[in-house]
């Protein structure tokens, strides 16, 4: 089993209402997990948001907390609901309605990694799936909620920046349309997870740093933005997807020659985003 469910980096002075999170960058591929998968050590990482935690770990320097996953996404997906269990993988689970994420093998305990490659040979006992949820999913979300609650108590509102990466090919359709290929996709569930004012300020920070930004297509946000984004209550959640090819070799899963430059540009973004709602004057709810 992975050693830790999460790691938290806290600022010396919690000056920001913003909390940064990286739920898919965990890379503790424990031996007990690897001996169960049919994939090798490279292929199992294909759905990981590799190095995203390093791109955003400067958040505490600007008064914001940062939480990152310890367990890898292929082991347990923290951006899924705890009850998104896949009957094609987990014994004793009944199919209830149609859930496209579960149907594609991307439930809370994933059945596949990128390009639909199966992780296991057969099925998994229900108690094993429940143990992963109890030891990794629940602690991560309990700590994330505690960070958000503390930020809202201090500042009157809170903003969750849920940090992810996307394959370069994810935006091929946009590139073919003749529009400049976006580097970043912001997902606010079409306004349901964050106020327009918050998303505008986040987008402006990325644009000022030189990134091309679009919203909600093809990634509008999944479980985390849905669960934590309640703008009418002063709780905003925005998913950030960054083109992996900007900073890494996707085939080798290694930082490329632009990694430090992208990291420096994102440091400017984090600094600006962390300024949102500093103090105790709430942003207008929508």
Q: By C-alpha distance, which of 89, 122, 114 is closest to 103?
A: 89
**Residue 78 domain-assigned (yes or no):** yes
Q: How many CB atoms lie within 10 A of CB 254?
A: 11
- If you average pLDDT over residues 70-85, what whole number do you get? 97
Q: Which two tokens stand for residue 124?
A: 């998994």
**Residue 283 domain-assigned (yes or no):** no
**Residue 190 domain-assigned (yes or no):** yes
**Residue 279 domain-assigned (yes or no):** no
The predicted pLDDT at position 176 comes to 64
pTM listed for this prediction: 0.94
The predicted pLDDT at position 281 comes to 43
Residue 85 has pLDDT above 90, yes or no: yes
The predicted pLDDT at position 242 comes to 98
The predicted pLDDT at position 283 comes to 52
DSSP 144-182: HHHHHHHHHHHHS-EEEEEEEEE-GGGGHHHHHTTSPPP
Report pLDDT digits (tens) over 187-239.
999 999 999 999 999 999 999 999 999 999 889 999 999 999 999 999 999 99
The Cα–Cα gap between 165 and 238 comes to 14
Q: By C-alpha distance, which of 207, 238, 235 is closest to 224?
A: 238
Handedness of CA 226, 11, 45, 173 (dihedral sign): positive
Q: Which two tokens stand for residue 58?
A: 């400067």
Residue 131 has pLDDT above 50, yes or no: yes
User: Which neighbouring-strand residues pair with 174?
Assistant: none
**Residue 222 domain-assigned (yes or no):** yes
Q: By C-alpha distance, which of 136, 156, 177 is closest to 285?
A: 156
- If you average pLDDT over residues 265-269, what whole number do you get? 98
Q: By C-alpha distance, which of 219, 234, 227, 230 is closest to 187?
A: 219
Range of the domain at 203: 6-274
Considering just the CA atoms, what is the radius of gyration of the chain in Å?
Answer: 18
**Residue 286 domain-assigned (yes or no):** no
- If you average pLDDT over residues 132-158, what whole number do you get? 97
3-state secondary structure 19-41: EEEECCCCCCCCHHHHCCCCCCC
Share of the chain above pLDDT 90, in %: 87
Residue with tokens 């990466």: 165
Report pLDDT digits (tens) over 6-52.
999 999 999 999 999 999 999 999 999 999 999 999 999 999 999 99
The predicted pLDDT at position 71 comes to 97
Res. 279 pLDDT band, cuts 50 70 90 = low
- If you average pLDDT over residues 89-116, what whole number do you get? 92
Q: Are 248 and 256 in contact (CB under 8 A)?
A: yes
Residue 143 has pLDDT above 80, yes or no: yes
**Residue 282 domain-assigned (yes or no):** no
**Residue 115 domain-assigned (yes or no):** yes
Residue 286 has pLDDT above 60, yes or no: no
User: Which neighbouring-strand residues pair with 67?
Assistant: 8, 21
Please state the domain count of the chain: 1
- Share the mean pLDDT of the chain: 94
The Cα–Cα gap between 283 and 286 comes to 9
Residue 91 has pLDDT above 60, yes or no: yes
Share of the chain above pLDDT 70, in %: 95
Q: How many CB atoms lie within 10 A of CB 211?
A: 19
The CATH number of the domain where 99 resides is what? 3.40.630.40
């Amino acid at each position: 089993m992975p050693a830790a469910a999460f790691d938290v980096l806290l600022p010396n002075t919690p000056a920001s209402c913003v909390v940064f999170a990286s739920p898919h960058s965990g890379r503790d591929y424990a031996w007990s997990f690897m001996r169960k998968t049919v994939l090798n050590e490279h292929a199992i990482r294909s759905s990981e948001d590799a190095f995203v935690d390093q791109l955003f770990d400067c958040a505490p320097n600007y008064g914001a907390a940062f939480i990152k996953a310890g367990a890898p996404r292929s082991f347990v997906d923290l951006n899924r609901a705890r009850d998104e269990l896949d009957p094609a993988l987990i014994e004793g689970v009944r199919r209830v309605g149609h859930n496209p994420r579960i149907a594609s093998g991307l439930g809370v305990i994933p059945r596949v990694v990128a390009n639909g490659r199966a992780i296991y040979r057969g099925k998994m006992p229900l108690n094993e799936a429940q143990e992963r949820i109890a030891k990794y999913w629940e602690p991560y979300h309990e700590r994330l909620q505690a960070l958000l609650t503390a930020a809202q108590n201090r500042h009157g509102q809170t903003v969750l920046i849920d940090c992810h990466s996307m394959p370069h090919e994810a935006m091929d359709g946009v590139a073919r349309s003749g529009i400049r290929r976006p580097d970043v996709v912001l997902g606010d569930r079409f306004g349901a997870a964050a106020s327009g004012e918050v998303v505008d300020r986040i987008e402006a920070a990325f644009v000022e740093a030189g990134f091309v930004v679009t919203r909600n297509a093809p990634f509008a946000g999944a479980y985390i933005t849905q669960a934590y984004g309640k703008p009418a209550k002063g709780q905003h959640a925005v998913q950030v997807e960054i083109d992996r090819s900007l900073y890494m070799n996707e085939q080798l899963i290694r930082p490329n020659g632009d990694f430090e430059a992208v990291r420096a540009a994102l440091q400017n973004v984090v600094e600006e985003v962390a300024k949102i709602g500093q103090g105790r004057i709430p942003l207008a709810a929508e």
